[in-house]
Homo-oligomer: A and B are copies of this chain.
């Protein structure tokens, strides 16, 4: 009998709202927030309920972080790089061109300085972050004409967001900002010449293969894209310790689940796209080299003005260079052999 009040006290009913930056139609991404919510509810016997809202239901997708900062909601599921307009440092929480691959990103978050450095930065916005899934490496976008040299990019209007767009601009592209649903009609009418979205599974559902034939890889501006759960810091502090632990574990589950889902779905979708006539093209080396150089000069420019970006980017760079020194040994040679073995049949 003595224990009961203590149990009751430690299990208050808590209701949170989580606004997603994504529509329900992006089921792999949106589904990760739902899995997080379901896991928290089950682990707390229904006492801690987090209701997930699609982009636009409470606030527009790109206002998810602000809504979390100003306590319209307690948390959101978003992509840090949507907020590079506030500060380019936000880019480092999701993806910047020619940076870490998926496993390196998770390693940097959890066992490098990633979460510590980023959460120091996010504190200014009244939020903290946990990894919220990853798309894996993305494709390099749909083009209506082949790209054989950097010159072929001159003047192309391409739907591409964030820092990838800034780097593309240095190569002569005119970046366009369009929501997912607006890409198809713009490509169809020819008001844009190219567009990047995510990868085979999501791109197929937008139907982009019907209005652009050439599908480029790799998406060098997103060697992976980490999604993020952002929490209002004050609301997070109010949680009982057990709810916070359930939330942390649920986010980890969502993080691994989203990647596994993409890794299961993309291999099927890419084959279906090729059957529908999509032509796969690797970006020419001169485009990759020019983009690599432009990206690093952009990082130098930003670093010269922004000490916070500089500090975190330098840390990422060391992690990336060590990471790829190791990656080239086992992972890369194993994959290399397996790719060739599959092709031999």
Contacts and interface: CB of A to CB of B under 8 A. Distances in A.
Interface in A247-281: 248-250, 252-253, 255-257, 259-268, 270-271, 280
Interface size range on A against B = 35 or more
A328 B343 CA distance: 10
Residue among A263, A270, A328 having the largest count of chain B Cβ atoms under 10 Å: A263
A132 interface: no
Interface string A224-256: 000000000000000011101110111011011
Nearest to A246: B43
Contacts of A321: 342
A63 interface: no
A180 interface: no
A191 B255 CA distance: 46
Given A42-B241, A323-B263, A136 B256 contact: no
Count of this chain's copies in the oligomeric assembly: 2
B334 A263 contact: no
B252 A217 contact: no
Contact of A101 (B45, B110, B334): B334
A334 B223 contact: yes
A334 B320 CA distance: 13
Contact of A264 (B111, B241, B263, B334): B111
Given A218-B329, A218-B331, A282-B333, 12 more contacts: A4-B4, A4-B5, A7-B7, A11-B45, A43-B245, A220-B337, A223-B334, A249-B252, A249-B253, A252-B252, A324-B339, A331-B335
